[in-house]
């Protein structure tokens, strides 16, 4: 079974990796799809995020990283996936993610979405929280893989 895990991954967190690993164990073939959203200014380029993710998943099998523009359902169709994977941290995530899942079904009812809850010790993690902690000089090593932490520290040292 092939699963598409879409997101910005800006930056990749241990919560994201938790879901990738568990999806890989359950479904085998996982495509991590980085949304290239022209309405947002990312911290890291698409190319750098691909490098960060590939470095962080090098010990896992059956996973590939792509980037895409446009609708997630179009990406899912292009790569012939069986399911779209979305992560949940808290009840507030569920409301938003359910809305997205329903919207995707109205666009293409052949595409199903599944939800996985992150492990509880990752439930506080979000990319925006990680970026804010790093911006103000806090440690993020326990929140993100080493390559991402290094990149965040380098960016924030340049901005001082």
For position 2, what pLDDT does the model report? 96
Q: Annotated catalytic sites, by residue?
A: 16, 40, 89, 127
Q: Which domain holds residue 18?
A: 2-158
Question: Which domain CATH number covers 134?
Answer: 3.40.50.620
pLDDT means over runs of 10, the chain (160 residues):
96 96 94 94 96 96 96 97 92 88 95 92 87 92 96 80
Query: How many residues would you count in the chain?
Result: 160
Q: What span, in angstroms and rounded, lies between the C-alpha atoms of 40 and 38?
A: 6
Instruction: Write the CA distances from 74 to 43, 111, 112, 134, 158, integer angstroms.
Output: 25, 10, 13, 34, 38
Q: How far is CA 155 from the centre of its chain?
A: 20
Number of independent structural domains in the chain = 1
pLDDT tens, residue by residue, 13-26? 999 999 999 999 99
Torsion angle defined by CA atoms of residues 23, 24, 29 and 35, in that order, rounded to the nearest 10 degrees: 60
Residue 43 and residue 10 in contact, taking contact as beta carbons nearer than 8 Å? yes
Q: What span, in angstroms and rounded, lies between the C-alpha atoms of 66 and 144?
A: 20
pLDDT tens, residue by residue, 75-96? 999 999 999 999 998 777 898 9
**Three-class SS of 83-126:** EEEEEECCHHHHHHHHHHHHHHHHHCCCCEEEEEECCHHHCCCC
Backbone angles phi, psi at 82, to 5 degrees: -90, -35
């Amino acid at each position: 079974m092939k699963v598409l895990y879409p997101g910005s991954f800006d930056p990749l967190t241990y919560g994201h990796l938790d879901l990738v690993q568990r999806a890989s164990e359950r479904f085998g073939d996982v495509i991590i799809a980085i949304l290239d959203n022209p309405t947002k200014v990312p911290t890291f380029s698409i190319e750098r995020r691909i490098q960060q993710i590939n470095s962080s998943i090098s010990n896992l099998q059956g996973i590939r990283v792509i980037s895409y523009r446009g609708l997630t359902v179009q990406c899912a169709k292009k790569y012939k996936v069986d399911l779209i994977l979305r992560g949940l941290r808290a009840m507030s995530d569920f409301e938003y993610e359910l809305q997205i899942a329903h919207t995707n079904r109205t666009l293409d009812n052949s595409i199903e979405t599944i939800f996985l809850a992150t492990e509880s010790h990752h439930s506080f993690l979000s990319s925006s929280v990680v970026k804010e902690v790093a911006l103000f000089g806090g440690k993020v090593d326990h929140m993100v893989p080493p390559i991402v932490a290094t990149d965040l520290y380098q960016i924030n040292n340049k901005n001082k």
